[in-house]
Amino acid sequence: MTGRTGPRGRQSNEQRYGDELRRRRETAGLTQGELAEMVVCSPSLIAHYEAGRRTPNPADAKRLDQVLGTDGFFERWRDTLAKARFAEHFQEAAEAERLAVFIEEFAVSLVPGLLQTKAYARAVFRGFRPHATADDIDRKVVNRLERARILENPETPRVWAILNEAVIRTVVGSPAVMAEQLRHIARLGRSGRVLVQVVPFSVGIHATMNSMVSLMRFADAPDMAYVEALYTGSLTDDPSLVRRYRDAYDLTRAAALPPEASLDLIESAAEGYDDHERPPHP
């Protein structure tokens, strides 16, 4: 196999998957465009698959096997990749996140994964999986922080996060963990890297209060929406569904505090957690 390498000069599993797909396509005498037409997707998506930047969803992997006559090879390998880093329901969304040029999040009760600190992420995973081994928790924390590396680019993706007030009021880990987490969000907001708004409790019911929503925009693909619940999630690029999620998100954005007031509230909450940690004066 050829060429493209990941960190430390080694190919990632995704890159090996892509190289194998390219080899099988060329052996079949197909161009990327021809394969895309037969699989019913865009040529740019086939290019992303072959470059190891994205992994086919289950339906596309199955069609690749049918078109290339590979007897379930890509479907089985794809399942192995999906289990390697993220929950099955989030794998494709994680890949899309890396390619998005604009990400808009609404969080119901927890800080969005892209904005989580190490201590906060660890507390979240420990709370959801109290019987998990330390190694398992460590692996999940590393993967979550790896996702956040897309924010190291000063320009893309643009990120707009709307937080229900419950996100900043629910103590995850400890008051100290919350103070650190909220200050991290405030720093991102004050720097202009992430636009942050809070929907205060006083708003009452609003359009997205029942579920976490993430909207993603791409340079060369249709918009996508990811909605998550306990142990499950759904990623879609269906235009009518994405439009409905967009409408709900826009209604929520209209109900939220302006960015400056939101950051003031977040920083005030962080100070409150600090006060909680300080011993009382004698």
Give the pLDDT confidence of 130-145 residue by residue, as tens digits.
998 888 899 889 889 9
**Highest-scoring range by mean pLDDT, 56-65, 67-76, 246-255:** 246-255
Provide the pLDDT for residue 281.
Answer: 58
Whether residue 25 has pLDDT greater than 80: yes
CATH number of 11-85: 1.10.260.40
CB-count exposure of residue 127 (10 Å: 0-12, 13-18, 19+): exposed
* The dihedral sign for the CA sequence 245, 250, 255, 256: positive
Identify which has the larger pLDDT, 171 or 72: 171
**pLDDT tens-digit profile of 118-127?**
999 999 999 9
Helices and strands in the chain: count of H runs, count of E runs: 12, 6
**pLDDT tens-digit profile of 185-219?**
999 999 999 999 999 999 988 888 878 999 999 98
Domain ranges in the chain are 11-85, 89-277
In one-letter notation, the amino acid at residue 129 is R
Provide the pLDDT for residue 6.
Answer: 36
**pLDDT tens-digit profile of 75-107?**
887 766 655 567 767 878 888 898 899 999 999
Provide the pLDDT for residue 10.
Answer: 46
Cβ(225)–Cβ(212) below 8 Å = no
CA distance 212 to 189: 20
**pLDDT tens-digit profile of 233-254?**
899 999 999 999 999 999 999 9
Whether residue 5 has pLDDT greater than 70: no
Q: Which residues contact 260 (CB under 8 A, 6 or more apart)?
A: none
pLDDT band at 151 (very low <50, low <70, confident <90, very high): very high
User: In this structure, which CATH number among 3.30.870.10, 3.20.20.70, 3.10.20.600, 3.40.50.620 belongs to the domain 89-277?
Assistant: 3.30.870.10
CA distance 166 to 102: 25
Instruction: Evaluate whether 11-85 and 89-277 have a shared fold.
Output: no
Whether residue 280 has pLDDT greater than 70: no
What is the 3-state secondary structure of 28-59? Answer: CCCCHHHHHHHHCCCHHHHHHHHHCCCCCCHH
Quote the mean pLDDT of the chain: 88
**Highest-scoring range by mean pLDDT, 40-49, 85-94, 172-181:** 172-181
